[in-house]
């Protein structure tokens, strides 16, 4: 079966699988693209013991897990910057359970808030650069950053970490 036919036949189905895991349209699209790209490169490994649909579904689930693991790592790095804590072996401040709660809180944020947090804190972009990347005004980025911080505070009231109040000078 040609790759175009696979995309046409299974693309939407795999997208829905990826979306269930990632809860993000863009991420789900990337996951599915990665799956088809990888399958195209390694199709010789498919031995036919299962159906092509089962094989692609498993690849999609695995790639979605990879995405979530990388998201959790990026989220934790972001939160280190927000809180000023270190994750060195000697300085583990947040326990595994707390990291999970924080990750879940960030994942609950609307995409527009998650993406500005990620770009600003994790990618270390300046507000102007984030605005250019997202093709929105600088004031929109500042507003989204502030609202994202506020929403994190609401979602994690028990957390006693100080969110950067107005570090928009970058």
Write out the H or E segment, with its range, that includes residue 15.
helix 3-22
| CATH assignment of the domain containing 21 | 1.10.1740.10
Mean pLDDT of 54-74: 82
Distance, in Å, from the CA atom of 58 to the CA atom of 14, rounded to the nearest integer, reads 10
pLDDT of residue 8: 96
What does pLDDT average to over the chain? Answer: 78
Residue 37, pLDDT score: 94
Domain annotation covers residue 104: no
Summarised one tens digit per residue, pLDDT across range 37-51 is: 999 998 888 888 888
Burial 72-97, CB ≥16 within 10 A → b, else e:
bebbbebbbbbbeeeeeeeeeebeee
Query: Residues 94-105: pLDDT tens digits?
Result: 455 666 676 677
Q: 32-61 in b/e burial notation, b at 16+ Cβ within 10 A?
A: bbbbbeebeeeeeeeeeeeeeeebbbebbb
CA-derived radius of gyration, the chain: 19
Structural domain total, the chain: 2
- Tell me, yes or no, whether 132 lies in a domain: yes
Q: Has residue 103 been placed in a domain? A: no
pLDDT score of 91 = 40
Q: Among 104-113, 121-130, 152-161, which stretch is predicted with the lowest mean pLDDT? A: 152-161
Max Cα distance, the chain (Å): 57
d(C-alpha 72, C-alpha 106), whole Å = 9
User: Mean pLDDT throughout 105-127?
Assistant: 80
CB–CB of 144/112 below 8 Å? yes
Q: Is residue 87 part of a domain?
A: no
Q: Give me the pLDDT at residue 163, please.
A: 40
Tell me the pLDDT band of 165, cut-offs 50, 70 and 90: very low
On the question of pLDDT at 169 being above 70, the answer is: no
- Is the pLDDT confidence value at 85 over 80? no
Q: How far is CA 3 from the centre of its chain?
A: 27
pLDDT in tens, 118-150: 778 766 778 998 898 788 999 999 999 999 988
CB atoms under 10 Å from CB of 134, counted, come to 16
Residue 116 is assigned to a structural domain of this protein:
yes
- What's the pLDDT band for 6 if we cut at 50, 70, 90? very high
- Give how far Cα 91 sits from Cα of 37, 84, 87, 115, 160, Å: 40, 11, 6, 28, 17
Average pLDDT of span 106-120: 82
Three-state DSSP class for residue 70: helix
Q: What is the pLDDT of residue 69?
A: 76
Structural domain boundaries enclosing 158? 109-170
């Amino acid at each position: 079966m040609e790759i175009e036919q696979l995309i046409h036949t299974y693309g939407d189905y795999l997208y829905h699988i990826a979306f269930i895991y990632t809860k993000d349209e863009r991420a789900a699209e990337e996951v599915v693209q990665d799956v088809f790209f990888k399958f195209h490169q390694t199709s010789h490994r498919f031995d036919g013991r299962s159906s092509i649909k089962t094989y692609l579904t498993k690849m999609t689930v695995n790639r979605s897990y990879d995405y979530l693991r990388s998201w959790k790592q990026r989220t934790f790095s972001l939160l280190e910057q927000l809180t000023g804590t270190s994750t060195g072996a000697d300085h583990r401040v947040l326990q595994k359970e707390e990291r999970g709660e924080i990750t879940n809180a960030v994942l609950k944020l609307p995409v527009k808030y998650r993406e500005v947090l990620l770009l600003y804190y994790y990618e270390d972009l300046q507000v102007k650069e984030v605005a250019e990347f997202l093709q929105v005004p600088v004031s929109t980025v500042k507003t989204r950053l502030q609202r994202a911080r506020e929403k994190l505070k609401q979602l994690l009231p028990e957390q006693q970490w100080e969110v950067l109040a107005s570090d928009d000078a970058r």
